[in-house]
């Protein structure tokens, strides 16, 4: 198996060269309809191809949401495979948003599906759920290290339901979300210029000063755009860790389709706003 340069190093370089923006590829039915596309495999393929062709050569990260492809069965997964390959060929890093989480051999199989270099769906990083215990992620952690890929672990998510688990306090006085961040800091210890094991931390969460977000790894930050957060909010939410934030925009860019020029313009605008916010922090 060919081993890539570690994901953290590749991501740091892409963020420095292209800006830190991540654009989601979320072809749900309402967006397909807004684009004038049918809610079928043909519409899915047209949507995904248009997004990739419009922005994969200019943004640091593309993040396809696996569920919106899986709902079409094997033909939808085939579209996803092609989208991942074409996005990576255009220079974007691909974070597969699949939020996998299980134990033992099942977790290992999920890891092989997305993190083995020879897998059809190989992605530069994968979102994973640690809520069967952080240790359940070990097969994914190990394979990511072997292949030069990365993980984004759900830590402090933007959905309101997440708090009942992530803010719960353990017997040692530390919250579950803080525990996940501490695990990631340990994974990334000593890595330069950036560790490969990141956290998902919502940009809509407001003041997070009670959490240690400096895990020496990337922080994937959903919530920019349609969910209400703006690039200007990033320094306030993330503090000193803002330099490692990968803000994710989906509908804020995608609603400008199917015109490729409009998609590019929207992505460039968000990227410029993020750069300005970081420069002012």
Neighbours of 200 (CB within 10 A): 26
User: Is-contact 126 96, C-beta < 8 A?
Assistant: yes
Which tokens go with 101? Answer: 């989480």
Rounded CA-CA distance 86/79 in Å is 11
Residue 130: strand, helix, or coil: coil
Residue 138 is among the residues annotated as catalytic for this protein: no
Q: Which of 82, 99, 117, 138 is catalytic?
A: 99
- Kindly state the tokens that stand for 107: 């977790």
- Name 45's Cβ contacts closer than 8 Å, sequence gap at least 6: 79, 82
Q: Which residues are designated catalytic?
A: 99
């Amino acid at each position: 198996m060919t081993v890539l340069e570690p994901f953290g190093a590749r991501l740091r370089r892409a963020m420095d060269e292209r800006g830190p923006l991540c654009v989601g590829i979320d072809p749900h039915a309402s967006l397909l309809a807004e684009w004038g596309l049918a809610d079928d495999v043909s519409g899915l393929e047209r949507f995904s191809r248009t997004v990739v062709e419009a922005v994969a050569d200019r943004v640091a990260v593309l993040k396809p949401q696996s569920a919106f492809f899986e709902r079409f069965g094997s033909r939808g997964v085939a579209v996803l495979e092609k989208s991942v390959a074409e996005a990576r060929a255009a220079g974007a890093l691909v974070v597969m948003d699949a939020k996998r989480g299980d134990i033992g051999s099942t977790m290992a199989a999920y890891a092989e599906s997305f993190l083995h270099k020879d897998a059809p769906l190989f992605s530069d990083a994968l979102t994973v759920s640690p809520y069967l215990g952080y240790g359940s992620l070990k097969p994914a952690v190990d394979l990511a290290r072997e292949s030069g890929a990365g993980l984004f672990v759900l830590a402090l998510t933007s959905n309101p339901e997440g708090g009942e688990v992530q803010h719960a306090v353990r017997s040692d006085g530390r919250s579950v979300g803080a525990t996940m961040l501490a695990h990631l800091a340990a994974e990334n210890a000593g890595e330069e210029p950036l560790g490969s094991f990141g956290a998902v931390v919502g940009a809509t969460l407001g003041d997070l000063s009670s959490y240690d977000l400096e895990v020496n790894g990337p922080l994937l930050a959903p919530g920019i755009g349609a969910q209400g957060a703006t690039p200007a909010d990033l320094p306030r939410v993330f503090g000193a860790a803002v330099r490692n934030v990968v803000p994710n925009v989906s509908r804020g860019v995608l609603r400008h389709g199917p015109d490729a020029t409009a998609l590019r313009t929207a992505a460039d605008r968000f990227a410029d706003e993020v750069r300005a916010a970081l420069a002012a922090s």
